[in-house]
Amino acid sequence: MRRRRRSPSLRLLTAALAVVALGEISLPKAAVAEIPAVAQRQRAEKKSFTDSQIVDGFLKVAFGAEHHLAGRVDRIRKYVTPVRVFADGARADRKAQLARVVADIARRVQHLDIAMADNDEAANVRVKLVRDRDLYRTMTSLFGRQRAGEIRASLDPQCLSGFRKNEKYEIDRSDVILTVDTGDFVFFDCAYEELLQSLGPINDTASVPWTMFNDNVSMGFFDIYDQYLLNLLYDPRIKAGMTVQEVKAVLPDVLADVRAWVRKVNNLPQ
């Protein structure tokens, strides 16, 4: 989750809705030169991790939630259907940037079918592009006045997202709010984390220094470490509703395949 800060740079679970917040995000390589802050972070990015470092981070972000208000959070939550994203807003430039983020995620997560939708009816991820001054009003319309007030008072978020899941812990729908009148770095940072968290990994953790799901980390691109986490989550052997112990039983085989994929898509050395 990402809170509002003076410099560029929520999750609240309700019974049926997990409200997630903003953080760091990933940027297609072609756009790196446009944003110096992203290029700088990519040059300094850590790209080599042990199995235990990857597994530890995955278990921390895939299970639990920052605010334990929705009952049991000890199960895997993910989409099991194709993910289609619709952008609702007037800024054509931000819509184009969001489409680049979605395409980048699609290219880097092997078993995730994600793409933009042409209309709201075809989408299960709805992204509202709003001015900063309209953020609270939009939060209220999506999450209700009481929840929006609690979120605003405790976190004062800059962007946020949430999802609804069924009794099998399969995500049915996600809502994302992104502010458009921030700088490009903040927009990309928000867009990546909000979209990724709306796919299931909603637990922020301050104990993993390499993930965008850490309030103290801002990158603005889809980093190698989080590619490992999302590829683990969307491997077919990791199923919605699985417990920690069930996941641990299949992780060694899954991680071996995920390592090969992340290495290939990022041209990493053996």
Domain that holds residue 132: 12-265
Q: Is 7 a domain residue?
A: no
Q: Are strands 125-130 and 83-88 parallel, antiparallel or unpaired?
A: parallel
* Count of domains for the chain: 1
Q: Is 5 a domain residue?
A: no
Tell whether the torsion through CA atoms of 165, 73, 153 and 161 is positive or negative. Answer: negative
Per-residue pLDDT of the chain (270 residues; tens, 9 = 90+): 344 443 333 333 333 344 443 333 334 444 444 788 888 888 889 999 999 999 999 999 998 665 443 445 689 999 999 999 999 998 999 999 999 999 999 999 999 999 999 999 999 999 999 998 887 788 788 777 877 777 676 666 778 888 899 999 999 999 999 999 988 999 999 999 999 999 999 776 678 789 888 877 788 899 999 999 999 999 999 999 999 999 999 999 999 999 999 999 999 998
So what's the pLDDT on residue 253?
A: 97
Cα 251 vs. chain centroid, distance in angstroms? 21
Rounded to 5 degrees, φ, ψ at 31 are -100, 0
Q: Is 143 a domain residue?
A: yes
Instruction: Find out whether 125 and 84 touch, Cβ atoms under 8 Å.
Output: yes
Q: Is 2 a domain residue?
A: no
What's the predicted TM-score (pTM) here? 0.84
